Chain A
Amino acid sequence: MAKVLVIAEHDGATLNPSTAKCVSCARAIPGGEVTVAVCAADATAVAQQAARLQGVHRVLKIEDPANEHPLAAVLAPQLVQAAAGFSHVLGPSTTYGKDLLPRLAALLDAPQVSDIMAVEGARCFRRPIYAGNVILTVEVDESAPVIVGTVRTASFQAAAAGGTALIESFRPTSKLPTHTRFVGVSQAKTDRPDLQTARRVVSGGRALGSAQGFEILYRLAEKLGAAVGASRAAVDAGYVPNEMQVGQTGKIIAPELYVAVGISGAIQHLTGIKDARTIVAINKDPEAPIFEVADIGLVGDLFEIVPQMEKLLS
């Protein structure tokens, strides 16, 4: 039987939605019994949220004052002990998971399968390579003591609520390093939905022309209840902060509606929106590659179209 340990991502108070998607991936492993590990200074609230996810069998609280901030070097040695007896260890393919899971895999002497987009068997997984231009199916050898994987969250539905898992404490005995210190994190405060999990996303490219140009997108997004994203070109031009970047090197998202405004559609951007249900493209260049993937295309001046849309939605 497969025993799957899912490493929860959270901010100390709230479970990140990526965890519910990892649970769905874990449940897709034949015979998978799912345990969620929550590392925190005080894991009570997050553990309760994890316990309510359908399909979760058990939640392990791993509490230590050193776990207040997610430092891979601090968490990995504790999770090595927690992972004993598991056949799989999964985490989200977010910056949190991509930082932590390989460190854990090395300590476990385990191979890692990155960006799992589908489970074909207990040892067989599909994943994108070459920026999503190739889909690779891999099989992990039986000699691997445990399989470590990061889960491409855009490829899985979130596990629903309604579970009642047991919550237990796990106390690792590992000595924790002090060579890494969390100083702080800065993020733009916004009332808009979170880009990674929003059902609707409006994104802008370099054609917006300036930080001010993005204002028309913010207004449209407000009408749509949408999050706002951006192309790498817009981020590099300094119009918006980097956490708004959508694409291979930014966020990979799967909203129901994605509206690309003034985005030409470089491969690296398209990689980030492949799983969007409906893609709308607004661009003045009828030859822009974004139109090749758009479900609805509109050729024209974004500075006219976007305010018109906003008015029509009022």
Chain B
Amino acid sequence: MGDNPMRRILVGIKRVVDYNVRVRVKADGNGVAVDGVKMSINPFDEIALEEALRIRERGAADEVVVASLGTTECQQQLRTALAMGADRALWVDTSAVPSGPLGLEPLTIARALLALVRREQPLMVILGKQAIDEDNSQTGPMLAALWDRPQATFASKIELSGERAKVLREVDAGLQTLEVELPAVFTTDLRLNEPRYVKLPDIMKAKKKPLDTIPLSSLEVDARPRIKPVRFEPPPQRQKGIRVSDAGELVAALRQKGLL
């Protein structure tokens, strides 16, 4: 990577229903009711951006570029990312793709991100481990595969030294440590950092930062969906439970149910 004078970090930003909103299935079962609900940056992407900003602030990177695929509304989230401190934004305009109740498929997003990687030549790509709307958890490893570069998913600590990164990963067995050569793809877990709050003056400043529009078609990415939604349903409700008044009654109830 020594031939690239600009040490750049590319961060993926997805516009999703805010995590505090309790979503509902549309009455006709053809999607999720999202009209008029609060939209935000996917929380894991916010963590990704925060990490990129901290790496730049430590002097280990020169520029943080945020990218989002979506229709015109996703520029709001890109502006928020610029207000948090990103240097510039890339909006991949997907307006020409027929929209349905599901978003673009992760493999399509990974291919589009790969096209951006080819242009921007980043040292690191940092993405959220999953988006909290469709919970796919696929894009990071898919991009790493197409790019033929290392991946470090579910990162809770990233240490850079020269052309390598040492990453602590949150795996089911505990904490795994990996060492990867750069460039590489990282996906963030919750405990990587706590994202900063955006200050009002930064929102004003962000309006002047560059936000480039790139039509998805110009990236020559096959965006045809291969996973079709059949129906959306609310989850089954649990039956109403009973109340007991002390530990004795609780243990008795468990015994009665044959659980002890």
Interface residues of A (CB under 8 A from B): 11, 71-73, 76, 94-96, 98-107, 109-115, 124, 128-141, 143-144, 177, 179-188, 196, 200, 224, 232, 236, 241-243, 248-249, 251, 256-257, 267, 274, 278-280, 282, 291, 293-300, 304-305, 308-309, 312-313
Contact between B136 and A185, CB atoms less than 8 A apart? no
- Give, as a whole number of angstroms, the nearest-CB distance from A288 to chain B: 12
Chain A residues with CB under 8 Å of B96's CB are none
Contact between A102 and B142, CB atoms less than 8 A apart? yes
- Give, as a whole number of angstroms, the nearest-CB distance from A310 to chain B: 9
In the complex, which residue of chain B has the Cβ closest to the Cβ of A251? B172
In the complex with contacts A134-B32, A137-B229, A139-B230, A73-B257 CB distance below 8 A: no
Specify which of B134, B151, B232, B248 is in contact with A308 (CB 8 Å cutoff): B248
Interface size on B, residues (CB 8 A): 79
Contact between A129 and B107, CB atoms less than 8 A apart? no
Tell me the bound Cα distance from A299 to B260 in angstroms.
Answer: 21
Tell me the bound Cα distance from A102 to B178 in angstroms.
Answer: 19
Specify which of B107, B228, B235, B257 is in contact with A105 (CB 8 Å cutoff): B107
Contact between B142 and A243, CB atoms less than 8 A apart? no
Type the 1/0 row for B126-145, where 1 means its CB is closer than 8 Å to any CB of A. 00000011111111111111
Contact between B178 and A183, CB atoms less than 8 A apart? yes
- Give, as a whole number of angstroms, the nearest-CB distance from A184 to chain B: 5
Contact between A299 and B174, CB atoms less than 8 A apart? no
Contact between A274 and B244, CB atoms less than 8 A apart? no
Chain B residues with CB under 8 Å of A104's CB are 145
Specify which of A115, A251, A267, A282 is in contact with B135 (CB 8 Å cutoff): A115
Asked if B253 lies at the interface with its beta carbon under 8 angstroms from chain A, I say yes
Contact between A130 and B241, CB atoms less than 8 A apart? no
Contact between A312 and B178, CB atoms less than 8 A apart? no
Count of inter-chain pairs, beta carbons less than 8 A = 241
Specify which of B138, B177, B225 is in contact with A112 (CB 8 Å cutoff): B138
Specify which of A101, A105, A291, A309 is in contact with B251 (CB 8 Å cutoff): A309
- Give, as a whole number of angstroms, the nearest-CB distance from A121 to chain B: 10
Contact between B110 and A106, CB atoms less than 8 A apart? yes
Contact between A298 and B138, CB atoms less than 8 A apart? no
Q: Could you pull out 23 A-B pairs where Cβ atoms are within 8 angstroms?
A: A95-B169, A95-B171, A106-B110, A106-B143, A111-B105, A115-B135, A128-B235, A129-B134, A133-B22, A135-B235, A137-B230, A137-B233, A183-B178, A186-B174, A243-B175, A249-B189, A274-B235, A280-B254, A295-B239, A296-B250, A298-B244, A309-B247, A309-B250
Tell me the bound Cα distance from A294 to B253 in angstroms.
Answer: 13
Contact between B173 and A312, CB atoms less than 8 A apart? no
Tell me the bound Cα distance from A109 to B28 in angstroms.
Answer: 33
Contact between A185 and B241, CB atoms less than 8 A apart? no
Contact between B142 and A105, CB atoms less than 8 A apart? yes
Asked if B27 lies at the interface with its beta carbon under 8 angstroms from chain A, I say no
- Give, as a whole number of angstroms, the nearest-CB distance from A139 to chain B: 5
Asked if B61 lies at the interface with its beta carbon under 8 angstroms from chain A, I say no
Tell me the bound Cα distance from A114 to B139 in angstroms.
Answer: 12
Tell me the bound Cα distance from A145 to B243 in angstroms.
Answer: 53
In the complex, which residue of chain B has the Cβ closest to the Cβ of A232? B190
- Give, as a whole number of angstroms, the nearest-CB distance from A13 to chain B: 13
Q: Which chain B residues numbered 100 to 118 have a C-beta less than 8 Å away from chain A?
A: 105-107, 110
Contact between A141 and B232, CB atoms less than 8 A apart? no
- Give, as a whole number of angstroms, the nearest-CB distance from B61 to chain A: 19
Contact between B246 and A300, CB atoms less than 8 A apart? yes
Tell me the bound Cα distance from A243 to B189 in angstroms.
Answer: 12
In the complex, which residue of chain B has the Cβ closest to the Cβ of A141? B226
Asked if B154 lies at the interface with its beta carbon under 8 angstroms from chain A, I say yes
Contact between B250 and A185, CB atoms less than 8 A apart? no
Asked if B238 lies at the interface with its beta carbon under 8 angstroms from chain A, I say yes
Asked if B149 lies at the interface with its beta carbon under 8 angstroms from chain A, I say yes
Chain A residues with CB under 8 Å of B25's CB are 134
In the complex with contacts A129-B134, A183-B178, A298-B245, A144-B226 CB distance below 8 A: yes
Specify which of B140, B148, B170, B246 is in contact with A95 (CB 8 Å cutoff): B170
Chain B residues with CB under 8 Å of A139's CB are 227-228, 230
Contact between B227 and A179, CB atoms less than 8 A apart? no
In the complex with contacts A138-B227, A185-B171, A106-B244 CB distance below 8 A: no
Chain A residues with CB under 8 Å of B176's CB are 182, 184-185
14 additional A-B pairs beyond A95-B153, A99-B141, beta carbons within 8 Å, are: A11-B173, A72-B141, A73-B144, A95-B170, A98-B153, A105-B142, A107-B145, A124-B230, A137-B231, A241-B174, A249-B189, A298-B250, A304-B247, A308-B247
Tell me the bound Cα distance from A195 to B191 in angstroms.
Answer: 20
In the complex with contacts A136-B232, A299-B243, A243-B173 CB distance below 8 A: yes
Chain B residues with CB under 8 Å of A141's CB are 225-228
Asked if B234 lies at the interface with its beta carbon under 8 angstroms from chain A, I say yes
